[in-house]
Amino acid sequence: MPTAGTLLLGCVQAAFMYHLNWRPIFQNFDLLWQGLLMGLVLALLSLAIGCVIGILAAFARVYGGRPIKALATAYTEFVRNIPLLLIIYFVFYGLGLIGLHLLNNIWSFVLALAVYSGAYLAEVFRAGIMSVPEGLIEAGKAIGLTPRKTMQFVTLPMTFRIVLPSLSNTFISLFKDTSLAAAISVPELTYGAMVINTNTWRILEVYTTVAIMYLITCYVLAGLLRLLEKKYAMVR
């Protein structure tokens, strides 16, 4: 039976024997680039739908009656304690088993990621709603705004400004989570890497390239979103 030292020596020898070859990566880089763009689109769509879900759940928890609050709380607690991959499988495979063949793999993933992000954004928006200065709400009432218009022109705009930093972090997190879409063959960045690896067996090169692409993209997104925060975010 080989000892630990023998195994370590074998790994070191294998590392020195491995010859890097980046040509297959460059030849198939268009596949990775298209996957990167697909990942950004998936994250953006999921964030948009997740915001709608999160706002509805947040208002339900803040202003709803006891049954509505209980339902919104059950949703957030249930989804937040289930792995995202299981939600993806449930939406993609589970809905079809009960006769709901309405979504392809791309929209199944968007729905799963939106439901998942909505549960977290519900808490973000709830905190934002409760952080809106009471004086602004009272000022809206004083000038004759109805509760609906107060919510539309005062509460919601201020809430978005308060939670903008959290939304920025959520978008970057969702972009990285799109790598799980490869599990249901959505052609995003990680799936493109899997295809190239299957055809070329350049494991180290392809996944190093993908890691660098994720790193650069997230860094650029963080910088752009930071500029947006400086312009619109409200410091609590």
Question: Could you read off the pLDDT of 169-192 as tens digits, one per residue?
Answer: 999 999 999 999 999 989 999 999
Question: What is the spatial distance between Cα 52 and Cα 34, in angstroms, rounded to a whole number?
Answer: 28
pTM: 0.86
CATH architecture of the domain 35-232 equals Orthogonal Bundle (1.10)
Question: What is the spatial distance between Cα 113 and Cα 40, in angstroms, rounded to a whole number?
Answer: 13
Q: What is the pLDDT of residues 1-34, one digit of tens each?
A: 556 556 554 554 444 566 787 888 888 899 999 9
For the cut 70, the answer to whether the pLDDT of residue 85 exceeds it is yes
Kindly list the domain boundaries of the chain, sorted by start residue.
35-232
Structure token digits, residue 185: 């063959």
DSSP string, 151-167: IIIIIHHHHHHHHHHHH
**In which band, very low, low, confident or very high, does the pLDDT at 95 lie, cut at 50, 70 and 90?**
confident
